[in-house]
Amino acid sequence: MPRPAQIPLINKAFVLDALEHHQTRLDGRKPLEQRSWKISFYAQPEDDFDESNSAGDSATASAGLGKVDVRLGKTRVIANISASIVKPREDRPYEGLIYITSEMSGMTSQSYVEGRSTEEEVLTTRLIEKAIRKSEAVDRESLCILAGEKVWAIRITLHYLSDDGNLLDCACMAAMAALRHFKKEEVEVRGDEVTVHKATERAPMPLAIHHTPLCVTFAYLDDTNLVLDPSHMEASIATGTLTLTLNSQREICVLSKAGGTPLMKHDLMRVVRLGVEQVRDMTKALEDALKEDERVRVIEVR
């Protein structure tokens, strides 16, 4: 079984005392201050990335599109997008498919054991599915090639490399950054004949994205002290957490509260307002990273 981290009581008391009397956290941040983001896209196929595409996956993935390394402080997640052409579900013949899988190893944190899914991993994957798939972030009808016959299946694979707290927000940012960055090969349909043009033949096409939902997590320490972007230690001693999934249009896609005392209406509205402001900054960081990558990246079409 995973080895739960044991936080000494004196450490917990020190964290709470610093917050209550000095409004300071162990890493020097203010209670409502988020760690800095670093979003890096893989530029070339020879870049260091240990996942090979399965047979039939889109060649654009091997060109470095849809691979992103996201760091939130010391928390690190790599996301990889691959695409293949499959038969659609019988009850949804006009819609493509989206799969989200995760890989968490013992190197992520001492709390995890290789080959065994933890409750946090399952919960993280489930919330990301709600944020992306159920909020219709990707237009699945645009993934249809031939109704009832062929559609694109998009697979999002998340590799959790380091967990220094707030793994969910980092993973959601990585997944959306990879989706925004990925481009699928152009498909030509003539009658019942489908021709897939490689990225070297025709310029690949980006996915149709309706909106960009991002997660913002708050933690309640001792039911009174509210902190944004909790570290691993803060999450371990938190009495409850609240995760909001919002977009830049100020829409709430998912609200998830785990543990803690019930929230009054005005407390919840305050957290929502803070989350809206934070998502605005996070979206800007993502847009800036995408623009910079577009400026320096060259896709050759022969």
Query: CA–CA separation, 12 vs 10, rounded Å?
Result: 5
Q: What pLDDT score does 241 carry?
A: 92
Q: What pLDDT score does 122 carry?
A: 82
| The residue type at 35 | R
Name residues whose C-beta falls within 8 Å of residue 19's C-beta, 6 or more positions apart in sequence: 25, 31, 221, 225, 227
Q: What pLDDT score does 48 carry?
A: 45
Q: What pLDDT score does 67 carry?
A: 95
Q: What pLDDT score does 59 carry?
A: 47
Q: What pLDDT score does 45 carry?
A: 52
Q: What pLDDT score does 121 carry?
A: 77
Q: Is 63 exposed, middle or buried (0-12, 13-18, 19+ CB in 10 A)?
A: buried
Cβ(245)–Cβ(218) below 8 Å: no
Q: What pLDDT score does 107 carry?
A: 67
- Helical axes 119-129 vs 167-181, angle rounded to 10°: 40
Q: Where are the beta strands (DSSP E) in the chain?
A: 37-41, 67-72, 75-86, 97-104, 144-146, 150-162, 183-184, 187-190, 193-196, 205-206, 214-221, 225-228, 240-246, 252-259
Q: State the CB neighbour count (10 A cutoff) for residue 69.
A: 21
Of 178 and 115, which is predicted with more confidence? 178
Query: CA–CA separation, 167 vs 104, rounded Å?
Result: 11
pLDDT average, residue stretch 24-42: 94
Of 213 and 110, which is predicted with more confidence? 213
Query: What is the chain's mean pLDDT, rounded?
Result: 86
Looking at residue 160, what DSSP letter applies?
Answer: E
Lowest-confidence pick of 2-6, 130-134, 262-266, 297-301: 2-6
CA dist 29 → 32, 59, 99, 138, 183 (Å) = 8, 43, 36, 35, 37
Q: What pLDDT score does 174 carry?
A: 97
- The residues facing 157 across adjacent strands are 80, 101
Q: What pLDDT score does 113 carry?
A: 57
pLDDT digits (tens, 9 = 90+) for 166-194: 999 999 999 999 999 999 998 888 877 88
HSE of 8, CA atoms in CB hemisphere, 13 A? 3
